[in-house]
Amino acid sequence: MFAIPAVVIAFLFLNLAPIEDMRSQDFYTGAGSIGASLRSLAESSFDHSGPLLNQHWVHRWTDVIAFGIAPLVLAAALVLGILRRNLVLILPGGAAAFSAIFLLLIHFVLDKPADRTGIYFPPLAGLALAGLAHEWRNVPGRMRVASMAAYILALIFILQYASECNTRHFLVWKYDADTRTIADRLAADRQENAPVTRIGGSWQLQPALRFYAYVGNWTWVELSTEPPAPGITRSCLQSEIRSSIN
């Protein structure tokens, strides 16, 4: 009799206890607002690479998904799931509702999910969309039309998601895709008679460069995050930093 409440309380404690001591400085990255968070989560799935990347309408379509379609689909899934006692709809809708409540509670305290810290958002919306389409398929009238529309929308999501598949880089570390080429160029262009080559630049590139320095046994290199300045032989900079310097 008392086992179930005890298990529920223990589960809640184990999941909520770490939140007590959370501080914004403990998090590596995050969005500054809920709107920016929704846009970031949608862009991570539908607007990050592929042949449609530079199309202006894709950015607007991604905003429609982030601020319109996905929230409405998840809300509809939660309501219909409760009414029909459909677990397939309750799970994604309930998870999204819990996340939304949590985001509201931490709105003024912590950064919001972004990029890889919240990639569950589009899959939840996709699962809810499939569940709604299946639930409405045998209902006559407008609901059957809504079911067909949901299937078509799900197919569009799948095709758009598939069009952005790539094996060259991961979204969050896209800037690091060419670091090996940079390392090879640094090794090829170094002055043979110089005892030490000082290489500065963006801190984001330093971990990968240190890896290649270790693998290549670069005893001649001194890596730092210093900006271009006298005494720095080479500078490895991210594109946005390089453009601001120029």
Amino acid present at 43: E
Identify the top-confidence range among 39-53, 164-178, 200-214.
200-214
Residue whose structure tokens are 């400085």: 25
- Give the pLDDT score at 18: 64
What mean pLDDT, rounded, does the chain reach?
80
Instruction: For residues 136 and 74, state if they share a domain.
Output: yes
Identify the top-confidence range among 6-15, 26-35, 203-212.
203-212
Instruction: For residues 196 and 147, state if they share a domain.
Output: no
Instruction: For residues 59 and 107, state if they share a domain.
Output: yes
pLDDT for 47 beyond 70: yes
Instruction: For residues 198 and 103, state if they share a domain.
Output: no
Relative to beta strand 221-223, strand 197-201 is parallel
Mean pLDDT of 58-67: 87
Of 188, 201, 189, residue with least CA distance to 242:
201
Q: Which residues pair with 235 in a beta bridge?
A: 200
- Cα of 121 vs its chain's centroid, Å: 9
pLDDT for 156 beyond 60: yes
Instruction: For residues 39 and 76, state if they share a domain.
Output: yes
pLDDT for 23 beyond 70: no
Mean pLDDT of 105-117: 70
Contact status, residue 132 vs residue 78, Cβ threshold 8 Å? no
Higher pLDDT, 2 or 212: 212
Q: Per-residue confidence at 26, pLDDT binned at 50, 70, 90?
A: low
Inside any domain, residue 110: yes
How many domains are there within the chain?
Answer: 2
Q: How far apart are CA 49 and CA 162, in angstroms?
A: 10
Q: Per-residue confidence at 137, pLDDT binned at 50, 70, 90?
A: confident
Instruction: Kindly report which listed range (7-16, 149-158, 227-236) carries the lowest average pLDDT score.
Output: 7-16
- Give the pLDDT score at 93: 87
Q: Per-residue confidence at 29, pLDDT binned at 50, 70, 90?
A: low
pLDDT for 127 beyond 80: yes
191: containing domain = 178-245
Inside any domain, residue 87: yes
Residue 3: exposure state from Cβ atoms within 10 A (0-12, 13-18, ≥19): exposed
Inside any domain, residue 216: yes
Q: Among residues 144, 167, 190, which one ends one of the domains?
A: 167
Q: How far apart are CA 154 and CA 162, in angstroms?
A: 12
pLDDT for 82 beyond 80: yes
pLDDT for 20 beyond 70: no
Instruction: For residues 22 and 139, state if they share a domain.
Output: yes
pLDDT for 159 beyond 80: yes
Inside any domain, residue 6: no
**Other CB atoms within 10 A of residue 177 CB:** 13
In which element (H, E) is residue 62 found?
A: helix 56-64
